[in-house]
Amino acid sequence: MNRRPLIAGNWKMHLTVSEAVRLAQAAAQTCGACPDRDVMVAPAFTALTKVREALKDTSLLVAAQNVAWEREGAYTGEVSPVMLQDIGVHFAIIGHSERRQIFGEDDAMINCRLRGALAGGIQPVLCVGETLEERETGRTISVLEQQMRQDLQGVSADKMHQIVLAYEPVWAIGTGKTATTEQAQEAHAFLRRFLTEEYEKNIADGVRILYGGSVKPENIDNLMAQPDIDGALVGGAALQAESFDRIIRFR
């Protein structure tokens, strides 16, 4: 199946509102010149409204960096699917390794966020990946299987097509290290096999799986040449217009 590529920039806790708007507008210009692929940016919550307004006449997609599992309630510091929908944001990153590692979000919470997002009309970008210790002890596949099984619990086949997956080896995020193309492809192929076994082949073939982990202009072309890599979840290189432009324009 010919899956449409998706390049997503996760800006994490960077950029003021005005800086985010300028960077988003630059990305939108590149996006307009590359009609055969989707481009997404995920600003901080404070910048979402202004960025979305600035992009209203463009094809650039906007995502939140997280989303709560309830519509409303006593959840200090959380942002609900309804709040995102209200400002025209229809995507959210869920289960990023920094949420798992730094903030202690486990698979049960990630599953709640995922199902809450789907119920609230938000399309999730679900992140999974192993630590360096897990890779060095040969547990990459078992860790990915456990995360997928728990994170997708209760997600029906008719909802699965709304989800984007992102494989992000934790040891490669912000370290300058990148999984080899072979390592990345192996993990992506496993994730697709898992979806085939748990759902069915046509669903697995349709799900986009992004690679995240020190994606740079220098490695994007080789990564995108792999059969099961459908895009990239870009961190630091998405904070500079020039480098993000080159990644969006992968060949």
- Catalytic residue set: 96, 168
With contact defined as beta carbons under 8 Å apart, do 157 and 200 qualify? yes
The burial of 75, by beta-carbon neighbours within 10 Å (0-12 exposed, 13-18 middle, 19 or more buried), is given as exposed
Distances (CA, A) of 19 to 64, 163, 165, 240: 17, 29, 28, 11
- Residue 42: CB atoms within 10 Å: 27
Q: Where are the alpha helices (DSSP H) in the chain?
A: 17-32, 45-54, 81-86, 97-101, 107-119, 132-136, 140-151, 157-160, 181-198, 201-206, 220-224, 241-248
Residues in the chain: 251
Listed residue (117, 125, 105) closest to 71, CA to CA: 117
- Residue 223: CB atoms within 10 Å: 24
Residue 80 region by backbone torsions, left for phi larger than 0, else alpha for psi between -120 and 50, else beta: beta
